[in-house]
Amino acid sequence: MDFELSPEQEQLRDNVARLMRERYGFEARKGYQASPRGWSEALWRDYADMGLLGAPFAEADGGFGGGPVETMIVMEQFGKALALEPYLQTVVLCGALLKHGAGEKHRAELIGAIAAGESRLSFAHAEKQSGFDLHDVGCSVVKDGGGGFVLNGEKTLVGQGDSADKLIVSARLAGARRDRHGIGLFLIDADAPGVTRRGYPTQDGQRAAEIAFADVRAAPHDVIGAPDGALPVIERAVDETVAALAAEAVGAMSEALTMTVEYLKTRKQFGVTIGSFQALQHRASDMIVALEQARSMMYLAAMMAGEDDAAERAKAMSAVKAQIGRSAKFIGQQAVQMHGGIAMTYEYKVGHLFKRLTMIDAAYGDADVHVRRLAERGSLFA
């Protein structure tokens, strides 16, 4: 057992931390957020130059041979800075769909383009009725008789779906809407005929899109994996995304705590710094306890993201997501409370950390959803 990072991993962490410090101050972030895409293209190129976009992919696929630990390192730093670029969508989520679902040729082509910063992908999966059930897919696909496919349906809440140039779309080739079997993944150009996108801002300063597909054609080579058996790939990619979100949340939580402690040491009321009040000291200590528990789950997630046993992996990720959600809510709310009025302003960073933490809890099932799943699955210590 060993929690130490390798020298290369420490280097990666320091490099990303430096970039965020130099280029992702909270004022700079406001500028990126206000730009048309809602994030910085210049930084995306920097990420490519630094090797971040290819970090978690095998060298044979055009990546740099890293894995979940590298993703964890990058996402934690992004979490601290509240980075807006579509790393989670493109590199982590769509990257995992390609890694586990696509054939060799597809992987080489697409992963190489991702790593070079030339292509940004979003996963169009959730639908209005699906909630957090990954198998609930109503969007339909039929064979066109010539080896290709035709898609119809609507997808919702597609992360950074308005700025993506390619979409991976889940659609049902067979079975009823909530069957586990019959779901396929299709690579669709975001501007393909029949695709309509409506982009909008989200509470956490990012963007998402509602996307409709009307008789959208996919060529035979646009299928990722088996056209009717993609659910295990989707579940695996979402588990890896949950692990990455855990790291992003830990970064945001640690930043919220750092800012809170700094504030307690400088803000004066009644003639003393408010950090001298025991009620606030103990609350800050409880925040540390919550953060350390979350950090432990971030490590567990990085370890279990590579687990091949789907049931074991899902159980661990539910435990991770539940703990992250509980810690994120407590730390986010208390960071606002202990800052007082200033945290209620739009111009101050703590409120934005709180909002991102809130949305991370809600993504892919909040703490209650995952506790319920665990309750159905039996002991974590079996």
Q: Which two tokens stand for residue 380?
A: 């974590």
Q: Of residues 9-28, which lie at the interface with another protein (CB under 8 A)?
A: 9
Binding mask 311-340 for another protein (x = CB under 8 A): --------x--xx--x--------------
Tokens 């409120």: give the residue: 351
Per CB under 8 A, 270 contacts another protein: no
- Helical H segments across 82-224, by residue range: 87, 95-101, 104-115
Q: How far is the CB of 322 from another protein (least distance, A)?
A: 5
Q: How far is the CB of 282 from another protein (least distance, A)?
A: 4
Per CB under 8 A, 219 contacts another protein: no
Terminal Cα distance for the chain, rounded: 20
Residue 35 DSSP symbol? S
Count interface residues toward another protein (CB under 8 A): 44
Binding test (CB under 8 A) with another protein, winner from 55, 69, 81, 91: 69
* Residue 358 CB-half CA count within 13 A: 15
Q: Which stretch binds another protein (CB under 8 A): 187-195, 290-298, 338-346, 351-359?
A: 290-298
Burial of 116 (0-12, 13-18, 19+ CB in 10 A): middle
Per CB under 8 A, 42 contacts another protein: no
Q: How far is the CB of 365 from another protein (least distance, A)?
A: 14
Q: Of residues 131-160, which lie at the interface with another protein (CB under 8 A)?
A: none
Distances in Å between the alpha carbon of 343 and those of 21, 189, 214, 353? 21, 41, 45, 10
Binding test (CB under 8 A) with another protein, winner from 299, 333, 348, 359: 299
Q: Which two tokens stand for residue 261?
A: 């402690």
b/e code 246-261 from CB counts within 10 Å (16+ = b):
bbbbbbbbbbbbebbb
Residue 222 DSSP symbol? G
Amino acid identity at 98: L
Q: How far is the CB of 274 from another protein (least distance, A)?
A: 10
Q: How far is the CB of 306 from another protein (least distance, A)?
A: 11
- Judged by beta carbon, residue 165 or residue 307, the one nearer another protein is 307
Per CB under 8 A, 116 contacts another protein: no
Residue 90 DSSP symbol? I
- Judged by beta carbon, residue 5 or residue 359, the one nearer another protein is 5
Binding test (CB under 8 A) with another protein, winner from 142, 214, 272, 289: 289
| CA–CA–CA angle 37, 41, 42 (5° rounding) | 150
Provide CB contacts within 8 A for 149, sequence distance 6+: 141, 142, 143, 171, 173, 184, 186, 217, 218, 222, 223, 227
Which positions touch another protein (CB under 8 A)? 1-6, 9, 69, 261, 264-265, 275-276, 278, 280-282, 284-286, 288-289, 292-297, 299-300, 302-303, 319, 322-323, 326, 371-372, 374-376, 379-381
